[in-house]
Amino acid sequence: MNVNKKNISKRISTKAAIADSDSLNILNLFLNIVVSKARNKQVKISSFGTFRFKKTPKRIGRNPLTKESYIIQENNKLNFSASAKIKEIINL
């Protein structure tokens, strides 16, 4: 099974016995809250993990076909660190 928003919202709708559109709205609201709050500080969800923004530095990139160099500008990334419980479940 692919893990994407559509599949997650379908699982939510079947488990919670709600409409697909409602579960998709709930998922979108959750993701919007995480992204907006993580811009200012880290967002920790107990027993799940931590979301935080991280700046990637400006660096030199290279086109592998033409070997031409170019500058990749600094960028913001949303990083996720899994909690110890999630790591333990994954490594069983």
Backbone angles phi, psi at 58, to 5 degrees: -65, 135
State pLDDT tens for residues 19-35: 999 999 999 999 999 98
State pLDDT tens for residues 60-73: 999 999 999 999 99
Q: What is the crossing angle of helices 5-16 and 20-38, to 10°? A: 120
pTM of the predicted structure, to 2 decimals: 0.70
* Whether pLDDT at 1 is above 80: no
The side-by-side arrangement of strands in the sheet containing 75-82 is 43-45, 49-56, 75-82
**Beta-ladder partners of 92:** none
**Domain residues of the chain, as ranges?**
5-90
The fold adopted by the segment(s) 5-90 is HU Protein; Chain A (4.10.520)
Q: What is the dihedral of CA 11, 16, 20, 23, to 10 degrees?
A: -90
